[in-house]
Structure 1
Amino acid sequence: MQRLRYSRYFKSFFILLDIIVITAVLVFAYLRKHDYHYNKGFSELNVISLILLISFWILLSGRTKLYSIPRNLTFTIYLERLITHIFLFIVGVILLAKISDNSFLKEDRFLIGFILFICLFFLKSFSFFTLKYLRTFGFNHRNIMFLSENESTNLLKNILIQRKDYGFKIFTFTNELTIQNLEEFWKINGIHTLYLPSENSSLEKEFEHEVFKAAEKNKIFISLVPNIIQNNFLRYELDYVQMQPILTQAKFPLDYFTNYLVKRTLDIFFSLLFLIFIGIWLFPIIAIIIKLGSKGSVFFIQKRYGFHEEVFDCFKFRTMNINRASDTKTTAKNDKRITKFGGFLRKTSLDETPQFINVLIGNMSIIGPRPHMLLVDDYFKQKIGRYSLRSYVKPGITGLAQVNGLRGDGGNIEIEMQKRIIADSFYVKNWTLSLDLVIILKTILLILKGDKNAH
């Protein structure tokens, strides 16, 4: 069965749609300033300006990866790319307006930039969610299969089954495992991608080699799934010495002093902003209600691992009645230790607000992997190899895992923790300022509507 590749058609359609929007906005700005009948439409200068801007938009997309959208891309990451792309494009519009003799572009450059931002932001956000919504009904799906499964591939399969918006249809191979049967199965079901464990595979090496050859012949993509308990692949990156590939020690974004300085400056600015304008009146109100509702101190201070696993005192508002298991037992849904007001604080994440003091001190950041109890960290360090990667950045009040629903005990704590660590590892390896801003925005939205995973 011939597999249709829809990606190139979707990309062409979206590029054409963006060009139409850009053209429409510029024509609208021109007509707003000029009488079309007297000026006979766009002048040659205007046409050249339009061509330059459209060319810049397309060339810029190669850098921002605006049209390179894998199915599993989250809106958080897509939004980061989109905002970065539109911002840089608007800078290009303003620069072109300053150096050209184009009168309407000069006079209306900020208005044009604002209209372009609004139109393109909503158009592309709508397109992103529409495509994901259609995929939940089986439209534009991609046929895949797993071979020689293990813990890592089972976790991935579980994610792909839950996230129907990714548009993957999983086929199970049940026949006798031979190359001929595999090739026939691929053709009948139109398989696009074959997932294999990168190590600890149950396939014999010789047979696995034959599978790779057969996949290449049949134009089947092979994706290798790293072992969930290993983390070496995250600490190395591919480099070249002439044409010889080598793996070198990875340097993460926040290892660069300029990035660290930007993040630390914003941490200090936002924590001071919160404490001076909100904390100064909110903290006393919460403290009084806590004291009236139950005996004990207002704050709950607990040891947590921080940057490079240095232990620090993490501040929270107390949400439980005083109990001896607070340092040894994690919270569960409908936990009887939680007070009535404590449940409200947890649901709205207000119990975490004293951690802005931790941010100001310097042992936490506003955005980063959430710090866990010491016992939890010590336990999962032995179970998940990449777990310690979290300590390469400061822990945060909120993080990428939390805004993607990976919070609390979802039933199988080990599976949930593995997903959390994947998100935290991604954040460490792919930090950008715009990603932090998107996480802050999503956190605010979660607080406003209430986090169902908070307990």
Structure 2
Amino acid sequence: MFDLAIIIYSTAFFFKQTFDTLSFSIFIGICWIVVSMQLGFYQIHRNTKLSTLISKLFKQLVFFILVVFAFFGYYYQIDSTSGYVFKYIGVVFTTIALVKITVYYIFKNYRSYLGGNFRNIVLIGENKETMELKSFFETHPDYGYRLQNIFDVKSPNYSLDQIKQFIVENNIDEIFCSVKELDNDALLELTDYADNNLRTLKFLPNPDTILSKHLKYDYYGKTPILSLREIPLDDPVNQLAKRSFDIAFSLLVIVGLLSWLTPILALLIKLETKGPVFFKQERNGLDYKEFECYKFRSMVINKTAHLHQVSRNDLRITNVGKFLRKTSLDELPQFYNVLKGDMSVVGPRPHMVSHTHMYAERIDKFMVRHFVKPGITGLAQVSGYRGEVETEEDIVGRVRNDIYYIENWSTLMDLRIIFKTALNVFTGEEKAY
């Protein structure tokens, strides 16, 4: 946002008042965002080297020069404005580069001297690779990793349960595990534990073996590191894109639909039964944090609403409620949750807190769903796993689809899910009750 503001605002100082700022802003803005995402211009992490940052700046500069001259070549006589264009490009991109490099060093110094933006870590396995990594973290405090313990798996006192207990008691964020120190069963158990307890698991590969190309591969100094799961929405640019879409879409629904539909539905709900118009229920969201989820009330007031899911021919559902649930209108107030930031338009559907605790214990990988914000609709819902969980396969299928969504997210996927959801509202769904 800062870069785009500099790009657009600077036109006032270099070009005439007759300059078409609106067309330029739209053209440059779209090109900048699309190419930035493709080049990974904003993917600057704690282990990114300055040389990598400079390389990204150079690639972005080449692109910026091309699109700016493409615009002026199409709209204006380039000969008469080339001097101003070069000055504009020079000043704008120098400002962007200086700010980007400054922020890069601010974060490094913030981690080094103030101890902020840190992550608690443990190393599993004591060998040459883990000792090199330990030394690297000690000599590079700017990475922001605080090593809390090294577990020697060859020690007679070693046990995986001991490691798990230490991770919980010391609020460990990331686990670095040497692959050659553990057998397959231990690795699988550790992987399941990390997924089900929202911990980041990274592997130090065996340098003597061939590595899989499906895992994310990074270097910390000279030590190679494998990350188990790469989540697209961990990237700040993707987060901004999704959040911007959520805000725009929720405002459209709230202003264009809920502003006039809410009074009508409120009157119908009140005329049939006593009680509030809106139903609020605690649910688990991002990082397993609880939030109040809003819905139009579709049932009579009852003590089991927070414990038992709605079932087919449920006697608690009112006549108005049947219509609301059949058409999914009861879910519309959740766009207020989206606007607040508790939810997204698309994501894994949140469950009641009591059910979340139950499924977390019974269903493997269930907790992975909480790596992202929950959604009003999701891939599982448009893939036949909506509504009541009648069998074990229902929840397993839901988790399988949610994990696929988390690992393969894209804006295009969100749009497809929204389209399918809208289509299902009009065509009807078997489990919409």
TM-score (norm 1): 0.48
